Structure 1
Amino acid sequence: MLIGCPKEIKPQEFRVGLTPYAVTEAVAHGHDVIIEKGAGLGSGFDDAAYVAAGAAIVDTADEVFARAEMVVKVKEPQAVERKKLRADQVLFTYLHLAPDPDQTHDLLESGVTAIAYETVTDPAGGLPLLAPMSEVAGRLAPQVGAWTLQKANGGRGVLLGGVPGVGPGKVVVLGGGVVGTNAARIAAGMGAEVTVLDRSLPRLRYLDDVFGGTFRNRYSSAGALAELLPEADLIIGAVLIPGAAAPKLIRREHLALMKPGSAIVDVAIDQGGCVETARATTHQDPIYEVDGIMHYCVANMPGAVARTSTIALGNATMPFMLALADKGWRQACADDPHLLAGLNTHAGHLTYDAVGEALGIKVMPAETALAA
């Protein structure tokens, strides 16, 4: 198979879909790989590294999209990229379709077979291609939240760790999954007073068993949130419903309960955000204010640490990428129901229920698309 990797064009996105390590493996499996010139520079991989791994460098993204049988990316294809997709092509990348009707309709019109990293599953019910970036984003969230709280950025001027004689900042984490757990660990490590909210009692028990004493946890409810918001300096939104739009846990009226200059970091913004007042921002202009509350809602947070993120993502996607290349998408998905769970569009049909529910589009079961 001819595998292609274009340079990411989303603003301030420095990651790349294929590492030289992945190229080495693909070539060893008998596949050809083309990489757009300069695609890996943001992650610290120059063209020479890809050539040494066995890839060919091409000058433009147009050539990648025109020639590749499978396009491997990081972020969802932008509008100009979607025009280059075709029906006999596999797209393997993050999609996050539920809050993005324009992208969804473009992918359906192209006929491309699109497999989304964020909906591929594993035998334990996890999301193995989302987890590495969730870990990165979770660990970044307290860091960027602490920066947002600085007075020069419009924040309260609170140091999360406090100092002798001055109490620490208070952090509330909405969701105890991969993002939330990593966010809570780092925030607690910074010296903050941390509370995690979640609605899964087994998850709360796990957090208590593993991290007991490091941070507190509470069962998530409207009442608990109303109690915690007036004291919080930083809220980290870390909720996820796989493939679906994030629920709005914080409404605009909740902002009136919070202290002026306190901060919200909505890590769920890729799926529409779990805060009603959240809107996607970029690394270039990451913060805005609503009703005195500072919002940090960068839609590709891991892109800020592109080297770490690219390698972590590449480690996770490589086995699936090789299966798709070795067997073709139909056989690979037939052999692995967890990879089939990643199928979001095929031949003009939407194949993921949560996206169809969010956007009001009829869904063809992935199994039907596989057999067609």
Structure 2
Amino acid sequence: MKKDTLCIHAAAIEHNPTRAISMPIYQSATFVHPGVGQTAGYDYSRLQNPTREHLEKTVAQLEHGLDAMAFSTGMAALTMLMELFTPGDHIIASNDLYGGSHRLFDHISTKNGLSFSSIDTSDLAQIEQNINPRTKAIYVETPTNPMMNVTDIKAVCEIAKTHNLLVIVDNTFLTPYFQQPLSLGADVVLHSGTKYLGGHNDTLAGFLVVNDAELSAKLRFIYKTVGSCLAPFDSWLLLRGIKTLAIRMEKQQENALQIANWLKKQPKIKKVYYVGLPEHPAYEISTQQASGYGSMISFTVDQEKTACQLLEHIRIIQFAESLGGVETLMTYPMMQTHADLPQAEREAKGINECLLRLSVGIENAADLIADLEAAFI
């Protein structure tokens, strides 16, 4: 099946005696054993639940993976993933990441004995230079949040395999509809399902996807132990959201390209960061490893006053943290997603009082541009 058909029909419903088109919500914490030493396939919802299982199989198929695990949030997924590693292990990570990932690595994982080299993973030489005997994994976010840097996933995987390292890719921005890192050689794909997979800003979720049975077994053991699984109703909301993933991603990308080209022409805009613009330094790599460019745009304005004016005067576009929903949202990374980064580190990345991030929704692009234009006045 093609990707857009998979979004609707992936993972045929197995637990559906009524033949309902919508997967039933199995709102049960526990399940009855038919007899001693027997199981109906489900024992306790922390281990597995039919609704969550259907969602996990759907996401695994979309990512061309063997197994997917659904979590209560994206950060829950990343936190559990770190339990693969032991004190003393070293991880190479992209230096431009979602602020929550920085916070976890810098304040929790480091406390637990892991060490990190935060580098520009688009520079393959830097990756090679930072590999040491304790290195266990390379963690890549591409495109990055919020500076839209792009890493060549296949090239990183080739380096990793020569050193027996895991490659972990945060695929939140492009989703499996536009980018499939496992097919490029990655070992683990991470998603904040709250964003595009859910698509409606109405629930939180996270995913890990793998295509190796041994790695799946290790993660499943940790998963049932720490208990950060996604609830049945939230699993159903994600299933419902994924059904429209294809048409949402296409429309959002179409809108984003129009808005990015409009932003480039505005005198108060100093720089536009969108991987779908041919002048983006990684445009060719993006075109090779992904089938689309997504709908995330960051841009810098001429001064802090302009940034505040935009945030306070937009009307259709909403000033809110998060991304990937049907509504267009504008975020102030300095004060929201990346507020916990030390100022010097944040500004070195370009995350300052003049940087804004736009998650483009499915509204009419002309209305969104008119809203921006009015807010500039």
Q: What is the TM-score normalised by the length of structure 2?
A: 0.35
Q: What is the TM-score normalised by the length of structure 1?
A: 0.35
